[in-house]
Structure formats: C-alpha cells, structure tokens
Amino acid sequence: MLNEFFLWLEYLPLAQHIGATWWFPLMESLHVVSMTLMLGTILMVDLRILGFAANRYAISTMSSELVPWSAVSLTIASVTGVAMFITRASTHAVNPALQIKMLLMVLAAINIVTVHCYVFRGVVNWDAGKVAPFSARFSAGCSLGLWVGVFLAGRWIGHIV
Amino acid sequence: MFRDIAEWLANSPAREFSAGLLSSIPGLPPILQTVHLLSIVAIMASIVLIDLRILGLAVPSQQLDEMIVRLRAWTVWGVIGAIISGILFVLARPNRYLLNPVFQIKFILLIGVLILTVCFYRWSAKNPFSHEPGNNIGIAKGVAVVSLLMWIVVVMAGRWIAYSEYLFWPG
C-alpha cells in the first residue's frame, strides 16, 4: 500500500522530469544552499542561548531576527528535498540513512516545538543574561547535535543507493 | 594550467595516499563531505550573514562593525575546514576534478571571492561604519551583492561538478 504510493510518486510526470534532466542537480544545489543557511542561522541562536557567542545581544532579539531566515531556508530545503525524494521514492524509503535522517528531523521538530511552547515562555527573565536556564541550554545543545546528525545522515543517503 | 597540475598530481604519492585513505576507512567520504557542509554553514553564518546585514535584509539589531570583528574567525575556520575536507577528494582523483569545467569555475570564483573577502575585512577595519556611515555603506552594498552571488554560485557549483555534462557536453 505504502510502496504503491511511493511507486505512484515515482511515475508522476514531474518526478520523471526532475530525475531525467538538469532539474535534479538544480534541486540538489539549492538544497545545499538552503540547508547551510538554515543551520548557519540556527547555530547563531543556539550558541547565543548556550552563552558562547554574541552575548551582548538579547536572546529574544537574536531569535526573532534569525528564526525567520531558518524557517524560510527550511521550507526551501524541504521542497527541494521532496523533489529529489520522489524521483526514486520507493528506493529512498527503504534507505536506512534516509530513515535515520527523518527520525532525527522528527526529534529536531519536537525540540523546536518544546522550545517555543515551554522553554521560551519565561524568556524575559533571562533574556539579556549570559547564562540561560538549563532547559534552554539543553534544548540548544540537542538542536545542534540533531542537525549535525541530519546533515551526516543526509549526506550518507547517496553512499548507500 | 589545470591539465598540467592534474597530470603532476596524478603521478604524485599524494594521489595514492588520498585514494588509499578514502577507500580504506569505512564512512570517511560521507564524514568528510559532512565536514565540508558544516564548513559552508560557518561561511553562511559569517560572511553571507554580514552581506545580508549590509543589504538591510537580516539582523538589523546587530551592529555591523562589531559583527565583522566577531564573525571573522568563523569565516577563517569555515574556509580552512572546507579546503581540508575537500582537498582529499581532489588529490585522490585529480583528473576528475581539475579537468572538470564546473570545478574550474568553482575554483576560480572561490579564489576571487576569498580575495574580495580579505580586501573587504581590511577595508572595513580601516573605515568603520559607525564613523562615516554615509560614504561607506554605498561601497559596502556593492561588495555585498557581488560577494553574496559569488558564494552562492561557489556552493552550488560544488554539487554541479558531478553533473557537468548537463552544462558542458563533451565534444
């Protein structure tokens, strides 16, 4: 059932077109540009929360000015990622590197929701300080670790196919 | 020029060493490629973000002179990390890379944008934006547009090396 869905994706005219033309390297290179910009902006916010960098700026300022860039980059990376996935959907779906990548991305998403719904609630109390509460530093550390894992697993996909 | 270097590298012990290293350590190629990507992340978080700040597109609260000083080390280590993680692949298969037109374009643009970046850092240290913002920002905006485009093309070209036949059909 699921496999039939993946095969259906593969046989979409769009998927066939991407897989057979210069669209594929275009998607792949846009994926690299957007994901590096995404992690670059996430990295700055996380290092600020950890108290390692840019401590002269308030955490909420860093976050409100950089998160939109992370979000737009993540959207572009997701669209280009799906565009590549559908060209070989049924093969990619059983690729362990891609499965690990998806798992790590789910964990990163849970981390983001937790940070924005719970951890950031009392941000006004520690916004300008160098030392954020443990929960915030823990989330920032998890975020960095998870995204590095996503990059490594993502890069590994092509070495397994 | 590229042909001569490729020929020289192909016969050097460095080729054998790199090729042996990449094929004998399991997982080394994807790990090095990830280091390459993370180095690009450092470049995105420093030079590219400064370019976007100069153009008024990102981080308006951050002070430009302070940003340039604070992020310099990120640029330096990003470039060093990218070169170290990339060079093993070039050394292992010099003909595949050095004779590839997309690699040649990437290499020349990279040298160009590195020179531009060094010049920009030196110039901005002598002419702080906080002192005479009116005159400097015009020049800086021009440099930022060129730098931004060059970095994006360099990063994208990296992926296109494997697909150069779409752009340059041999023969």
pLDDT digits (tens, 9 = 90+) for A107-132: 999 999 999 888 888 888 888 887 89
Distances from the Cα of A18 to the Cα of B154, B159, B169, angstroms? 22, 16, 19
Mean pLDDT of B116-145: 87
Distances from the Cα of B103 to the Cα of A93, B30, B131, B161, angstroms? 32, 19, 41, 6
Distance CA A76, CA A82 (A): 10
Percent of chain B with pLDDT over 90: 87
Give the number of residues written for chain B.
171
pLDDT digits (tens, 9 = 90+) for A1-35: 899 999 999 999 999 999 999 999 999 999 999 99
Contact map slice: A 87-146 vs B, CB within 8 A? none
Residue type, B95: N
Instruction: Report the domain count for chain B.
Output: 1
Q: How many CA atoms lie within 13 A of A38 on its CB side?
A: 20
Among the listed residues A30, A11, A4, the one whose alpha carbon sits nearest the alpha carbon of residue A87 = A11
Is residue B115 situated within a structural domain?
Answer: yes
Is residue B122 situated within a structural domain?
Answer: yes
A13 touches chain B (CB under 8 A): no
Cβ separation A30–B156 shorter than 8 A: yes
pLDDT band at B128 (very low <50, low <70, confident <90, very high): confident
Provide, as residue numbers in chain A, all residues whose Cβ is less than 8 Å from the Cβ of B158: 29, 32
Provide, as residue numbers in chain A, all residues whose Cβ is less than 8 Å from the Cβ of B31: 152
**Closest approach of chain B CAs to the CA of A57, in angstroms?**
8
ipTM of the complex: 0.95
Q: If you count residue pairs, one on A and one on B, with CB atoms under 8 Å apart, how many are there?
A: 84
Q: Domain range spanning residue B154?
A: 2-166
Q: Domain range spanning residue A68?
A: 2-160
Residue type, B59: V
Nearest CA in chain B to A60: B61
Residue A124 CB coordination number (10 Å): 10
Is residue B150 situated within a structural domain?
Answer: yes
* Three-state DSSP class for residue A133: coil
Residue A105 CB coordination number (10 Å): 19
Instruction: Report the domain count for chain A.
Output: 1
Is residue B171 situated within a structural domain?
Answer: no
